[in-house]
Amino acid sequence: MGSTANGETHPSLHSIHWFRKGLRLHDNPALLAAATDCHRLHPLFILDPSSGRAGTNAWRFLLDALRDLDRSLREMGSRLFVVQGCPEEVFPRLFHAWGTTRLTFEVDTEPSRDATVAELAERHGVKVIREVSHTLYDTERVLALNNGKAPLTYKGLQSLLASLGPPEKPAPTLTLEHLQGEHGVVDWVSHDTEYGVPTLEELGQDPTEVGPHLYPGGETAALARLNSLMDRTAWLCDFKKPETEPTSLSPSTTVLSPYLKFGCLSVRTFWWWLDEVYQGQREHSQPPVSLHGQLLWREFFYTAGAGIPNFDRMVGNPVCLQVNWDNNPQHLRAWREGQTGYPFIDAIMTQLRTEGWIHHLARHAVACFLTRGDLWISWEEGLKVFEELLLDADWSLNAGNWLWLSGSAFFHRYFHIYSPVAFGKKTDRDGAYIRKYLPVLKDFPAKYIYEPWKAPRAVQEQAGCLVGTHYPQPIVEHGAASKRNLGRMKAARAQKGNKSPRRRPPHRPPLPPTGENCLAHAPAAFYSVAKHRENRGELSRKRLFSLPRPAAAAGGKAIIPPSSATIQ
């Protein structure tokens, strides 16, 4: 597969392209490198069952994306090979079985096992090619420009990027022309059995737990979504993030985040297409509030995640304020389950649990409520819940934004606390958003929809919902809780040198749960449920755990933040 300028391939060149994020054929330079002059290409995705927190909705998104990728490759006579196991164990066997000489993959800025895999490949005489395409810029280069340190302000990042010029243009999409070499014979039937994309059940997920299929995964859906957004010139040019509405019944921002997270959509493709739209217009909004500005926020947190040790935790994170957060499992559960008694907060958490996506300012509201606002619970707990429930859960972006919202890093106007009552009212006085996600409250008059506990008993009876019986009383009193927490925050900040040492605490595992897979790893339950089913004979042993047999080897083919602060 793949050909030289004179149309020849090297019979000895056998590539594996390792998909993790970057689940696409467009702007995928590592995939193109794999195809170049290549006699046989194995597009590979490894499902790693070691650990992870992703919920069913996110799994569905990933499986959609893998099926879409397989469909696109199939149209060119190739297929996606899905193999389960740990990359360190999988690769040596694949190298041997497939006679691999070249391994390509996209640079991952998150802590990962890439260095181990690269070493392992080199030991097997396999050449490794890595290409940057998940971010607009090469974060290593940006860090090097800043003496190895991550910029801690958006403006700081902007000035570094200005010295690098605009982001690179997207690489050409992989087409049949890139795959012109001799094709391996794909046995379509055995391919599905041995390397097919598994189902949710096969991953130990309960398919009845998924919510409405609002954002189907995959490159095709990503490009269709981008395409239709790019037709809305006026909207794109007027886009100012703080003016979009968290309470809108249909999304008021792009919802491209799950596609960017999994790399179904290239950020460079998004950037340059938007640039074209801007070019034709006299005026358009600017960073940090414009859509280009949003992509720079993404870049900001990726760079921070790549440059700051222990970015996703408090201890050992040198930029993170050290706070003595409370341990209150009951409050944490109430927040997670949308049972705080504050309808705005509970509606957001319900939308998150069922649909897997919530507006940025809705994230602000619930994150502030959990941490410095009301419950004084560690941002790391919120991060874990988001990691499970968000379709776009992204290691760098999730940690960076939780650090920000909890007042632990980047953001210093900690005294601006979102009111769980007043904030939602700003854009939705009647509470339509609450009525949609909390139908138990749908018949409350607008006057009480944000504070149903204040409604007289007769009003509650008329609405068919007694607070304390059908819907909880508030778990804290916002006024008193936020005042107390403000004092605690001031005290934490006042402590001299309240920054964590750079050392990683010894009890932590060496890697965060996001590893080689873009969905982090499979949940712990996955391995055991799958094993259990296998034992019951419901799944073929090969399908779940096997690596390829040599025979198969031939088959290769608001409170709106004040304007003086940088708004994110």
Ligand X SMILES: Cc1cc2nc3c(=O)[nH]c(=O)nc-3n(C[C@H](O)[C@H](O)[C@H](O)COP(=O)(O)OP(=O)(O)OC[C@H]3O[C@@H](n4cnc5c(N)ncnc54)[C@H](O)[C@@H]3O)c2cc1C
**Site residues (CB under 6 A) for ligand X?**
241, 251, 253-257, 260-261, 291, 294-295, 297-298, 301, 359-360, 363-364, 367, 386, 390, 392-394, 397-398, 401-402, 405, 568
Smallest gap from Cβ 102 to ligand X, in A, equals: 31
Q: Known binder of ligand: residue 294?
A: yes
Q: How far is the CB of 229 from ligand X (least distance, A)?
A: 9
| 453 assigned binding-site residue | no
State which residue, 14 or 261, has the beta carbon closest to ligand X. Answer: 261
CA torsion sign for 340, 341, 342, 346 is positive
Report the SS3 class of residue 233: helix
We find the least distance from the C-beta atom of residue 568 to ligand X, in angstroms, to be 4
Query: Least separation, in Å, of the C-beta of 355 and ligand X?
Result: 12
Cβ of residue 152: shortest distance to ligand X, in angstroms? 15
DSSP letters for 388-417: HH-TT--HHHHHHHHHHHTTSSS---TT--
Q: Please tell me what DSSP assigns to residue 347.
A: H
Residues across the chain:
568
> Is 297 marked as binding a ligand?
yes
* Nearest-angstrom CA–CA distance, 181 and 164: 37
In 3D, which of 163, 392, 194 has the Cα closest to residue 298?
A: 392
95 is in an annotated binding site: no
Closest distance to ligand X from the beta carbon of 404 (Å): 7
DSSP 440-501: GGTTS-GGGTT-GGGS-HHHHHHHT--BTTTBPPPSS-HHHHHHHHHHHHHHHHHSTT-B--
Minimum distance from CB of 156 to ligand X (Å)? 16
Question: Smallest distance from the beta carbon of 392 to ligand X, in angstroms?
Answer: 4
Alpha carbons 527 and 139: distance in angstroms, whole number: 34
Q: Is 253 one of the annotated binding-site residues?
A: yes
What is the 8-class DSSP label of residue 504? P
Whether residue 288 has a cis bond before it, omega within 30° of 0: yes
Q: Using CA atoms, how far apart are residues 374 and 372, in angstroms rounded to an integer?
A: 6
Query: Which is nearer to ligand X, 124 or 360 (by Cβ)?
Result: 360
Q: How far apart are CA 406 and CA 375, in angstroms?
A: 11
The answer to whether 116 is annotated as binding is: no
According to DSSP, residue 519 is labeled: T
Closer to ligand X by CB, 156 or 251: give it.
251
- Does the annotation place 312 within a ligand binding site? no
Other Cβ atoms closer than 10 A to 91:
25
* One-character DSSP codes across 134-164: SSSS-HHHHHHHTTT---SSHHHHHHHHHHH
CA separation for the pair 433, 424 (Å, rounded): 9
Is 163 labelled as part of a ligand binding site?
no
Give the nearer residue to ligand X in terms of CB position, either 117 or 348.
348
For residues 414 and 448, which CB has a smaller minimum distance to ligand X in the complex?
Answer: 414
CA nearest neighbour of 246 among 430, 427, 447? 427
Cβ neighbour number for residue 63 with a 10 Å cutoff: 22
Structure letter (DSSP) for residue 377 = B
Minimum CB separation of residue 386 from ligand X in Å reads: 5
Q: From residue 471, how far is each of 60, 163, 444 by CA, in Å?
A: 31, 55, 12
Write down the least CB distance from residue 352 to ligand X, Å. 10
Cα diameter, the chain: 84
> Which element (helix H / strand E) includes 424?
helix 422-425
**Nearest 10 degrees: Cα torsion 383, 269, 233, 154:** 50
The answer on whether 256 is annotated among ligand-binding residues is: yes
At closest approach, how far in Å is the CB of 259 from ligand X?
A: 8
Which residues make up each annotated binding site?
Answer: 253-257, 294-301, 392-394
Binding residues for FAD: 253-257, 294-301, 392-394
